[in-house]
Structure 1
Amino acid sequence: MRVLMVHNFYQIRAGEDSVVREELACLKQNGVDVELFSATNDDIVPVARKISTALGVVYNPHSRRALSRKLAEFSPDVVHIHNFFPLLSPSILDACREAGVPSVMTLHNFRILCPSALLYPDERLRERSLRHACWWTVPKKVYRNSLAGTLALAAMVEFHKRAGTWSRKVDRFIALTDWARRKLVEGGLPAERIVVKPNAVARPPIFGDLRRNGGLFVGRLDEHHKGVATLLEAWKEIDYPLRIIGDGPLAPLVEQSAGERVEYLGRQSRETVLKEMQAAAFLLFPSKGYELFPMTVIEAFASRLPVICSELPWIKGVVEPDVTGLVVPVGNAGALADQVRWALSNRSALEEVAGRAYAAYQEQYTPEANFNRLMAIYEPLVRRPMRAFAAVS
């Protein structure tokens, strides 16, 4: 089988970028002929380039032609798209249909339905774009606090929603959890074309017999989604080491909080992150917003690192409360502090949680499990006669 993977890489390495690299390696190791067609946001530097990128968010004919050439050259059996924003655009789907190649799209976020990829932080408005037009997000500047950027994204969402792009041009969507699938269906995507397949991570290297000590936070330092301020507030009550890895708007706050108990390590390599996971006693994941699949949690599972996380609807697709992780109410610093103190006083119970989390990793999130799931998605599309849907110009 030949697979062409398509991805627009971010300037700052994101979880999606890691997933693409993991799946490329997984397919190659299992004898699949796979290549990557990609763009990178590092190219968006000059002002003129930024303007042309904004104009091409809705539909980029240059990307369509470039992918058409790659399809003719490589002749894949299936195209697997991870991210097309902002440089590639949904125009690449027309290249796939012209070539008669089935397309699979992993939905790592809600960007095809809302300019705010993880939906709006305010709970009263959070899911509004799933049921209504998303123009309301423009004055709120939900994309990087940019009016122009949000407008370009809103135009992309509304144009393709009305053009029927997602219902007519994508052969199969991959949702990362059952919860994500339900939300995507609420947003208008065809339920019969959405399958659930979680992400996976390679088994981490063993860094030696490291002593398990201290709490660990890994992630973007922002309050809307990651709950960093809640974590720092909780730690005022805890006399125990905490190491924080990451970067973002709240980095100055974290630096100010660093001291005898809190150590700020900044942005680190994946190798360093994995080593810290094997040295920590537990991972803190006090998220406040929506995420479709937290790779940090799965990396913790693979490292036998127990997780203390927020009790959110989407997290239950990954963490089973009191079985593979410990949960606390969202945004409640006092409850988080109480759970940490309980964990420190019940080390044997914490070790049992870690063991069950590792067992869940072995069963569901290894490269082997991921390969089998990918083949189960690809093979029916490759075997069936093309085109099941009306041709779209």
Structure 2
Amino acid sequence: MTPGILQVFNRYLSPGGEEMSVNRIFQHLSAQHAMSRCFFDSADWKGESAPGPAGQARRLFYNKESRAQFETALDASGAGVALFHNIFPVGSPSLYHAALERRLPVVQYLHNYRPFSVSGTLQVDGKVVQDALYGSYWKEISSGAWQGSVVKSALFAVMLKALHRSGWLKSVKAWIAISDFMRQKLVSSGSLPEARVHTLRHAWDAMPQPPVAEDAGYYLFLGRLVETKGVIPLLDAWDELRAQLGKKTPSLHIAGEGPLNDAVQQRVRTNPYIGQLGHTGGETKREALRRCRAVIVPSTWWEPLGLVVYEAYDYSKPVLAANSGGLSEIVQHGVTGLKHEPGNVHGIVQDVLAMEATPATERLVIGSAGRQWLLREASPQAWLQRFEKILAEAVKS
């Protein structure tokens, strides 16, 4: 008999790809398990009804209310396993403690580098810094990695240090990394025992047939406008392309919102070949994907996987990606797209020039190869089979 599963997740202030993955995982597991949820919300710590600074600091280390909510959900569901995603800050380490005391096996999904990094990205001043994987958080603290605050980052770092020393993480019987790259970094740093860390890339519910593709000649960036997504190098690359190509410069359409919105608007004013779509969803997003020439994913951090690549492949579009993190595994250079060194403006320019020089018929072949990769490597059925093996090991251990 398959055990019931309680899915636990702390929503971020800004919904993103992780929350969509959490929902997708719930749907896929519902085909085989009795699923229930226990969600927390970072927005609860904003506004007039939020706990004060001292109350938030106390709850960051151990939130008794969140533990009670978790245990109530657990008792109501009768679940035999907890599936954790992000649980910070509102959920807190109290959830691991409760699971350990109840001898409840936890499967921990790692969508980023928490609980080993203050920011979750390992980035400091635009560069990947591995120190946090080895237990040193000073550089992340000094850069204000969490919410732009040195004080809050220091508190988060002390909380992580206390969590790792507490022994409560023994409740986690299986850790799921979403790329081989991520797994290797966590294991080689000594952050996690190799036997309990598994690679399981996300599944994708591909369209039965891709829509009839057009090539309107523009390149599409689709994602949060944040430093880790390589927005600034991308903008710089388009200025360089304009300097080289003049009126023959292809257009760049930027879809998304975030802290770098003003920087994008400034480039839109000075470079006529850059356009900003803002937040894009629904039919607008589908049309943007259907009509682009290629999707650009210039991330500068160790992107754990990069689901925007899946989206591009679903529409049979080539991908121009940074050769970083999980992106290096799912984009095949010269087959499903092209790869450049992370943050390398010249590399982005060369990828675009190469794609511009590629005949339209060959671009279609590249897009089709991406679609075939998606159907072969990201099927929900294969994902579920792999998850069941990981779950079985977790329950046994």
TM-score by length of 2: 0.89
**1:247 corresponds to which residue?**
257
**1:155 corresponds to which residue?**
158
For 1:56 and 1:120, how far apart are their aligned partners in 2? Answer: 25
Does the C-alpha gap of structure 1 residues 118 and 50 become closer, same or farther in structure 2, counting only changes over 3 Å? farther
**2:7 corresponds to which residue?**
5
For 1:98 and 1:20, how far apart are their aligned partners in 2? Answer: 26
Q: Which moved more, 1:71-80 or 1:312-321?
A: 312-321
Is 1:305–1:354's contact at 8 Å kept on the other side of the alignment?
yes
Is 1:129–1:187's contact at 8 Å kept on the other side of the alignment?
no
**1:216 corresponds to which residue?**
220
State the 1:191 CA deviation: 1.2
Residues 83-126 of structure 1: per-residue CA shift (max 9 Å, x gap):
10111012112222333331100111112112121102358870
**2:246 corresponds to which residue?**
none
Q: Which aligned segments of 4 or more residues in structure 1 are displaced greater than 6 angstroms? A: none
Is 1:78–1:101's contact at 8 Å kept on the other side of the alignment?
yes
SS of 1:57's partner is helix
Does the C-alpha gap of structure 1 residues 208 and 134 become closer, same or farther in structure 2, counting only changes over 3 Å? closer
Does the C-alpha gap of structure 1 residues 211 and 353 become closer, same or farther in structure 2, counting only changes over 3 Å? closer
For 1:289 and 1:122, how far apart are their aligned partners in 2? Answer: 11
Residues 218-277 of structure 1: per-residue CA shift (max 9 Å, x gap):
112133x11212212222325112211111222112122226422201112255334321
State the 1:201 CA deviation: 2.5
Does the C-alpha gap of structure 1 residues 39 and 337 become closer, same or farther in structure 2, counting only changes over 3 Å? same
The Cα RMSD (Å) is: 2.2
**1:332 corresponds to which residue?**
344
Counting only pairs closer than 5 Å after superposition, residues 53-202 of structure 1 correspond to structure 2 as 53-121=56-124, 126-166=129-169, 168-185=170-187, 186-202=189-205
Is 2:10–2:86's contact at 8 Å kept on the other side of the alignment?
yes
State the 1:31 CA deviation: 4.1
For 2:138 and 2:347, how far apart are their aligned partners in 1? Answer: 37
Counting only pairs closer than 5 Å after superposition, residues 213-292 of structure 1 correspond to structure 2 as 213=216, 214-223=218-227, 225-236=228-239, 237-238=241-242, 239-258=249-268, 260-269=272-281, 272-292=284-304
Is 1:363–1:369's contact at 8 Å kept on the other side of the alignment?
no
For 2:116 and 2:256, how far apart are their aligned partners in 1? Answer: 28
Is 1:137–1:150's contact at 8 Å kept on the other side of the alignment?
yes
Is 2:106–2:172's contact at 8 Å kept on the other side of the alignment?
yes
- Which amino acid letter does the alignment assign opposite residue 379 of structure 2? T
Structure 2: segments with no counterpart, 5+ residues: 243-248
Is 1:274–1:299's contact at 8 Å kept on the other side of the alignment?
no
**1:350 corresponds to which residue?**
363
For 2:103 and 2:278, how far apart are their aligned partners in 1? Answer: 46
Is 1:200–1:298's contact at 8 Å kept on the other side of the alignment?
no
Q: Which moved more, 1:38-47 or 1:104-113?
A: 38-47
State the 1:147 CA deviation: 1.9
For 2:139 and 2:266, how far apart are their aligned partners in 1? Answer: 36
**1:391 corresponds to which residue?**
none
Structure 1: segments with no counterpart, 5+ residues: 389-393
Q: What is the aligned counterpart of 2:381 among 368, 375, 383?
A: 368
For 1:325 and 1:299, how far apart are their aligned partners in 2? Answer: 14
SS of 2:148's partner is coil
Does the C-alpha gap of structure 1 residues 314 and 210 become closer, same or farther in structure 2, counting only changes over 3 Å? closer
Does the C-alpha gap of structure 1 residues 9 and 207 become closer, same or farther in structure 2, counting only changes over 3 Å? same
For 1:159 and 1:270, how far apart are their aligned partners in 2? Answer: 43
For 2:213 and 2:327, how far apart are their aligned partners in 1? Answer: 28
State the 1:170 CA deviation: 0.6
For 2:77 and 2:291, how far apart are their aligned partners in 1? Answer: 44
Q: What is the aligned counterpart of 1:298 among 302, 310, 315?
A: 310
Q: Which moved more, 1:102-111 or 1:235-244?
A: 235-244
Is 1:113–1:187's contact at 8 Å kept on the other side of the alignment?
no
For 2:226 and 2:154, how far apart are their aligned partners in 1? Answer: 23
SS of 2:221's partner is strand
Q: Which moved more, 1:278-287 or 1:372-381?
A: 372-381
Does the C-alpha gap of structure 1 residues 291 and 217 become closer, same or farther in structure 2, counting only changes over 3 Å? same
Residues 39-79 of structure 1: per-residue CA shift (max 9 Å, x gap):
11222223652522332222222211221121111111221
Q: Which moved more, 1:73-82 or 1:362-371?
A: 362-371
- Which amino acid letter does the alignment assign opposite residue 157 of structure 1? L
Q: Which moved more, 1:350-359 or 1:212-221?
A: 350-359
Percent sequence identity is 27
**2:29 corresponds to which residue?**
27
State the 1:149 CA deviation: 1.7
**1:311 corresponds to which residue?**
323
